[in-house]
Chains A and B, each alone.
Chain A
């Protein structure tokens, strides 16, 4: 289906006007910047209502098939919405795990029943999803996950525990990686993948306090929780392969996500704006040559990252190492954010030592963002492990 430029232009205007009209605005409390930071009921309710509103206006999952609740339109429409959301800095879509990794996974390899059952609830935010991959003893070494799933008649009995479960207390479903067998040829062979209900007996998500002193993720205990056998995705033993596919969605290395703004990140222009209103020795901070140099370095780095995205669409410009850009995206983006948040604190001079509260610059959001930036340099695979992966898969370096 080809779409005319005119039609797209009109659509952009329509979306832009709708967002302006419907932006839920300042809730009067500090909003999280991503789903990993949602820590209070008021934050959660606010974000869930907003996602629901966007979906019901027809602006989410626009390229997902109409028969399951999507919009059935070309991807370009959704991309326009996402761009406009970013431009107007409206709140993000909080059901991130559902929209961006469980959803595309179900659409790509789920059964007809699974698509009918799950997709619409993901889009409307009626069904929040969480991810049960990491365990206390196995994070980077995910393949070693030990949570057990034992077949019992028509059901599976789950025991063990998952940890760092973002949105764990709000979720209705979990994408769960669990061990159905211990005697395969290697650690990966015994893993299976489940679309597992959270609101059943024996599943107990317990919130954990974060370094920001807020709450926001959980340890999820499974005490012989009984889930229907139909929750398994694919066959027993296919868990690792499906988990890897999921991580490709999660790290943005594969497309197919529902779209919509996934995070309300502070970006380099926010740092610039902060620099413009900061002072150093009674003079504007941006007159300081050191601050100027650092600021320009960050702008170059951020621009470089932004330019990678359109470049990947031109195959000829990526022929030597086709996955280099896609596979390094998370690493580049998250490490940059960590560093520019640090820099933002230094712009505040002695006030860099404040924390979230009315006296801090911008309510302390820079300090909080710096701390929260580790959620992305650790979560979804740590930067160290990302470098191993890029080294091995993109450069073909030997495995350690």
Chain B
């Protein structure tokens, strides 16, 4: 039923026309839409009741993010949830007390793990922290940080004396000019470079445990949800055109050159959903190996097949597919973004191989 509500909400509030308007706008997301998301309680879903949340799990967020993906809807829900998840997994009691209730009520949070080189290995860090008198002096930069300009708090990863650690930076500590908007392929999103040079944080802002793996897993799950939704939607865009465009006095969907690959896109989409729902279902109960396998399979499959669906969507629209006006490009851009964040298919298959074969 959550899926139904979510589907309804996202299709009403994020029709393609409004997605296109959003792309043009300066602000990172619609405040109005965000307010409604907060009112629906979605920002509180994964936050434990003891921190004023709903005490549900990441599993419950999957249908919502899937619906958002289907409608290319963007809000800080995913980035805030991922930051909250990191706090739940690795934060101190004080950090949780400070931030979780606020995030539940709609404070904006985000995670900043990527760096200039774009490496998918999250432990390979070239931004640094140095301890001095109870403070940590930061240097280097973080990249592709979503929603950073609006964030009340940013969770960063840094190399602190040779070890990866996570730390919180509150908005007030970010100097003017430290955030630069980055141009990314998915125009519905906003990403920033965060320059850390000169920022000094209190040691109490360091997370107790460096739960990079848990953050990676949650990100994979939600990226897969977003991709499954997008994949379903782009399939509909293709099917709609194949059923209405005629050439040689026939619907182009009658040509097997288009019909058969479109069926494959459907099959791939259904497989992506099965992998996603499996990972979501075992999220709370699986052993670590089981979960890792499920998530990496899901991401490997979705990355490749959604990007392929976007690519074919352009091709199957002919000249119209080559225009900005055609929705195919919106989904192709979305697919490419998702494909290259947190590991593409080759990356995950390589990590799966020893888990499955040895």
Contacts and interface: CB of A to CB of B under 8 A. Distances in A.
Q: Do A and B come from one complex?
A: yes
Nearest to A355: B185
Contacts of B144: 350, 353
Contacts of A280: 119
B92 interface: no
Contacts of A342: 307, 311
A367 B347 CA distance: 20
Contact of B183 (A163, A354, A384): A354
B318 A139 contact: yes
Nearest to B343: A349
Interface in B325-339: 325-326, 328-329, 332, 336-337, 339
A282 interface: yes
Contacts of B249: 141
A379 B320 CA distance: 11
Interface stretch (A94-102, A204-212, A259-267): A204-212
Interface in B147-190: 182-187
Contacts of A279: 117, 119
A387 interface: yes
A346 B314 contact: no
Contacts of A164: 319, 322
**Interface size range on A against B:** 35 or more
A357 B193 CA distance: 13
Interface stretch (A2-10, A52-60, A151-159, A370-378): A370-378
A23 interface: no
A134 B187 CA distance: 30
B292 interface: no
A351 B183 contact: no
Interface of B: 114, 117-121, 124, 143-144, 182-187, 193, 246-249, 255, 257-258, 307, 311, 314-315, 318-319, 321-326, 328-329, 332, 336-337, 339-342, 344, 346-347, 350
Query: What 9 pairs across the A-B complex have the smallest Cβ distances?
Result: A350-B118, A357-B183, A352-B340, A351-B118, A211-B329, A209-B324, A349-B118, A384-B257, A353-B340
Interface of A: 134, 137-141, 144, 163-164, 208-211, 213, 217, 279-282, 290-291, 338, 342, 345-346, 348-357, 359-360, 364, 367, 371, 374-375, 377-379, 382-384, 387-388, 400
Given A350-B118, A379-B322, 16 more contacts: A139-B319, A163-B319, A211-B323, A211-B329, A279-B119, A345-B340, A349-B117, A350-B119, A350-B340, A354-B182, A355-B183, A364-B183, A367-B185, A378-B314, A379-B319, A382-B318
8 contacts: A211-B323, A281-B124, A282-B119, A350-B119, A355-B184, A379-B322, A382-B318, A400-B255
